[in-house]
Each structure stands twice: as structure tokens, then as C-alpha cells.
Homo-oligomer: A and B are copies of this chain.
Amino acid sequence: MSVPLPAETSTDDIGTRLKLVRQIFGLTQRELARRAGVTNGAISLIEQNRVSPSISSLKKILDGIPLTLADFFTLDFSPSDEVFFTAAELTEIAYQPEMSMRLVGRKAKGRALGMLRETYQPGADTGDTMLRHEGEECGIIVSGSLTVTVGVQERVLNPGDAYYFRSDIPHRFRNQGEEPCVLISANSPPTF
């Protein structure tokens, strides 16, 4: 993984936009072509902006992701700056000598979150068919380290580090370290 950070895509740069979306969902041109029922060559040409696809083709392709035309033109796929936070970037919201509440991402912007304590043994992996579901998702590493992939971004998170992202962006968790990893995670709407 570890794709270079993509720039913002304008509405009329369909090629870059499609490529970005495809990469975010972890698909190759051939795999997407297979799902969509078009040829990989067509996708290649579109992504290079050497042709302007017909609506019917574009729709077929997006159906393979899947993504609606409206979402394709509406959504902002540029990675948010606020996906990752270092331990130092967490907001202390209630400090007492025996306890500390540190909030991920400045302020809880009216989000209703359920919270979990998870343990990943060394080698544990949610798999490379990346997870994807409704809602938002948030977590903080307690001990050990965890490799987290969110769309095109990937980071190894260490104790105190955290993540926050929309769950409909494909994501994956792996413990590539040698000790168990404990993290506190939260999701919305609460699924557990």
C-alpha cells in the first residue's frame, strides 16, 4: 500500500477522480473491469482522460464499486487531514490526577459513538477484503502497535495514537508487531 497523497480532484477531471476512487476501494483496473462488465482497457483510457466515458459506461463501472453517480460527483474523496492524531494531538477534556479523559479530534461534533476494548494478537489481520459499513469509526491504541489502512492511507499506530474515519471508506487492521495490541475503539451508530 502506501499510496502518495492524492490532490483534490475537480469535477471535470473524471479520470483522476475515478482512479482515486478505485484506489481508495483497493481495486485494480482489471478487477473493477471484471465486476463492472467492461474491459480494463476502457478504464485505463478513462483514467488517463483520453476518452470521456458515456454515462452508461461510467454507471456500469461505478456499479462495480459500488457507488452511485450522485455520490461519484458529490463526494469529497480527498483524504481528510483529520484522520490521524498523535498522542499529543488528543484533546484533554477532563483531567484528574488518577484519571485522564482525552478526546480524539478536537471536539465531539455531535457524534453518537459506541466504545469497545479490542485485543489483537501478533499476526491478527481483519483481512484484505477491506471492511466497509455505515457510520463512523474511531479508536486509540493502548498498548502494542497496529497497522491501520483507511482508503489510500496507511499508518502504523503506537500507544496513544488514534484514528477517526467514516466507515464506508474501506479499512483494515493488522497487528504486525510481536506483542498483543490493545486499543479502545468506538463506532457510530453502535453496532455491538
User: A59 vs B74: C-alpha distance in the bound complex, in angstroms?
Assistant: 14
Chain A 154-189, CB within 8 Å of chain B: the 1/0 string? 000000000000000000000000000000000000
| Any B CB within 8 A of the CB of A55 | yes
| Any B CB within 8 A of the CB of A112 | no
Contacts A52-B56, A53-B55 hold; do A11 and B68 have CB atoms under 8 A apart? yes
Looking at chain A's contact residues, is the secondary structure mostly helix, strand, loop, or mixed?
A: helix
| Any B CB within 8 A of the CB of A70 | yes
Identical copies in the complex: 2
User: A172 vs B171: C-alpha distance in the bound complex, in angstroms?
Assistant: 50
User: A54 vs B42: C-alpha distance in the bound complex, in angstroms?
Assistant: 13
Q: Which of B58, B70, B74 makes the CB contact (< 8 A) with A55?
A: B58
State the 5 A-B residue pairs at the shortest beta-carbon distance, nearest first.
A52-B56, A70-B73, A52-B54, A69-B73, A70-B74
| Any B CB within 8 A of the CB of A98 | no
Residues of B within 8 A of A73 (CB): 68-70, 72-74
For chain A, which range describes its interface: under 10, 10 to 19, 20 to 34, or 35 or more residues? 10 to 19
User: A73 vs B72: C-alpha distance in the bound complex, in angstroms?
Assistant: 9
A17 to chain B, nearest CB (A): 10
Question: Which of A51, A68, A69, A74 is most buried by chain B, counting CB atoms within 10 A of its CB?
Answer: A69
- Tell whether, in the assembled complex, residue A12 and residue B59 are in contact, meaning their CB atoms are under 8 Å apart: yes
Closest to A75 in B: B70
| Any B CB within 8 A of the CB of A138 | no
Chain A 137-166, CB within 8 Å of chain B: the 1/0 string? 000000000000000000000000000000
Closest to A55 in B: B52
Residues of B within 8 A of A20 (CB): none
User: A56 vs B57: C-alpha distance in the bound complex, in angstroms?
Assistant: 13
Residues of B within 8 A of A55 (CB): 14, 52-55, 58
Question: Which of A53, A57, A59, A70 is most buried by chain B, counting CB atoms within 10 A of its CB?
Answer: A70
